[in-house]
Structure 1
Amino acid sequence: MADPVKPGRSAPIARLEALIETLRGEEGCPWDKKQTPDTMARYLVEEVYELVDAIISRDSTAVCEEAGDVLFQLLFVVNLFRESGQFSLSDVVEKNVEKMIRRHPHVFGDVTAETPATVSENWEKIKRKEKGDGGCHSVLSSIPPSLPALLRASMVSERAAKTGFDWDDISGVMAKTMEEWEEFSTEINNPVYASGSDKAAMEFGDILFTMVNVARFARIHPETALIRSIQKFEKRFTYMEEKSFQAGRDIVSLSMQEMHDLWDEAKQTVG
């Protein structure tokens, strides 16, 4: 089988690696020289979220810049492990190429997979086979507990559904959403309800998790959908603040009707 990785693409990466080595070198930057994998993990996560935000905003200039920041942070982390003699970038690439070839037998082997669904099913089977010790491995075990809750809920939902534990169609999960809403409403309207009770919080969480399943059936990623809604709200609310300032008013001094009028104006003006 021919190597699927085409030659002649390493020069830009080599430049970035050389830059990192300079920053970490004897004449380099004091901040860069003191970093560890643990400290860099935080910055990597932050840069990834900035990249996601740029992608969702469809701002290609920002995507280009943020992708560069993510690549820098990632190579920085790899360089830290190389310095300690644990592995190099070549090790990372080779291991990943081997895994990708192994998990794409429909491209590099004799397996047939005509649809994305079949590819996904085969992928999960290969992952389970890779465990290889005959023990019981949960399909959920590789989902990082530290992920944001909405993203983690989406991954848990998808993994569980691939085992066949799922609703027949979207109508079933939407009905379940209404059921969860009724349970939450019942708890909130209970005469003995205590504000912020654990039971109410759990019922509200059930609503959110069920809505994640609705999104899956609708082929909507809940994390990116929510980010887009937040961006839309921020744009409209900032417009309201700016218009209030231009009128010599603080937004907190506006009446509710004035706020609603500005909100409607923002919807027509900034989308």
Structure 2
Amino acid sequence: MANSLTPPPSLTPIHRIVELIQTLMGEQGCPWDKKQTPETISRYLIEEVYELVDAVISKDVSAIREETGDVLFQLFFMIHLFNATGAFSIEDVVQTNIEKMVRRHPHVFGHGSADTPEKVSENWERIKREEKGPSRFHSVLESIPQGMPAILRAAMVSERAAKTGFDWDDIHGVMAKAVEEWEEFSKEINVDSDSFEKDNAAVEFGDILFTLVNVARFAHIHPETALVRSIQKFETRFRYMEMEAAKTGRDINDLTFQEMHRLWDEAKAKVG
């Protein structure tokens, strides 16, 4: 008999999604789902998280609801795969997280104190180090995933380093450093020459980006979110140009430079 697409309504939403995954992975389930592994699900989870971030930045509540569900589904799928091997259950995951959250919020659940977000963050990092124990050397840069997008990782690295006191005094200092890095890049690339050392120029350009990440930190702006918003703005304007060109039966590649800039100015005025 075919499996029902809709789990019994008497179940809680959590039990319904667990049962749904069990059905997909069952004997009469989906061949594609049954082939998935923690490694493949990890990739899909990353994709879904980025789609959720896009929805949040666009402030599309309907999309946020849908993408949040997709992220939850991938997480539950991952847990199911490990539960099937006897590694851990969803109860183990939840209990471990609750214990960690309580342990790392002594100012709420214990006798600690933390009156500011900065103090909370400081206590959090200290408790993390204590959890790992004194058996070996621990870098403050540990636990920052190597596979993170570079802008995100740069933000985390600079934030961790700054907490040790290795930082500029104020935003003016880091902005001056950004100008200095741009000047070094300009010298390296030697814009008056047809040839330059690309590896050295790439390093100097990376220094510019990393310094700008620190500028964002001082300005209380998350660089990844800011860049995503900027990209979305560009895409919206560019698509406007494409559609306007199509209305005249032309491809954007057929437009002159002047026509493109006229449409770009129109897009800025009409779509933001």
Taking structure 1 as the reference length, what is the TM-score of the superposition?
0.94
Q: 1:147 is aligned with what amino acid?
A: M
> Are the counterparts in 2 of residues 101 and 108 from structure 1 also a CA contact under 8 Å?
yes
Distance 2:131 2:185 in 1: 42
CA offsets per residue over residues 125-168 of structure 1, 9 Å max, x none? Answer: 11111111342101112101000111111110111111111111
Q: Deviations over 1:213-267 (max 9, x none)?
A: 0000000000010000000000000000000110122211211111111101000
**Structure 1 residue matching 2:44: 3-state secondary structure:** helix
Deviation at 1:199, TM superposition (A): 0.2
Q: Which residue of 1 aligns with 2:200?
A: 199
Q: Is the 8 A contact 1:55 1:63 kept in 2?
A: yes
1:236-251 → structure 2 map (5 Å cutoff): 236-251=237-252
Residues 1:11 and 2:12 aligned together: yes
Q: Please, what is the CA RMSD of the aligned residues?
A: 1.3
Matching residue of 1:81: 82
Distance in 2 between residues matched to 1:82 and 1:250, nearest whole Å: 53
Give the drift of 1:194. Answer: 3.5
Query: How do 1:1-271 residues align onto structure 2 when only pairs under 5 Å count?
Result: 11-189=12-190, 194-195=195-196, 197-271=198-272
| Distance in 2 of aligned mates of 1:13 and 1:110 | 34
Q: What SS does structure 1 have at the residue aligned with 2:62?
A: helix
The 2-side partners of 1:157 and 1:37 are apart by: 31
Distance 1:188 1:112, change over 3 A: same
Aligned-residue sequence identity (percent) comes to 68
Flag structure 2 segments of 5+ consecutive residues without an equivalent: 1-10
Deviations 1:193-224 (A, max 9, x none): 73561000000000000000000000000001
**Distance between the aligned counterparts of 1:193 and 1:143, measured in 2?**
39
Relative contact order (alpha carbons < 8 A, sep ≥ 6): 1 or 2 greater? 1
Partner residue, 2:8: none
The 8 Å contact of residues 55 and 64 in structure 2, kept in 1 or not, is answered as yes
CA distance in 1 between partners of 2:260 and 2:35 (Å): 50
Q: Which moved more, 1:51-60 or 1:192-201?
A: 192-201
Q: Which amino acid letter does the alignment assign opposite residue 246 of structure 2?
A: F
Contact kept, 8 Å, 2:189 with 2:198, in 1: the verdict is no
Alpha-carbon distance between aligned partners in 1 of 2:245 and 2:44, rounded to the nearest angstrom: 36
Runs (4 or more) in structure 1 with deviation over 2 Å come to: 190-196
Q: Whole-Å Cα distance in 2 between the matches of residues 139 and 195 of structure 1?
A: 37
Aligned length: 262
- For structure 1, which runs of at least 5 residues remain unmatched after alignment? 1-9
Q: Secondary structure at the match of 1:140?
A: coil
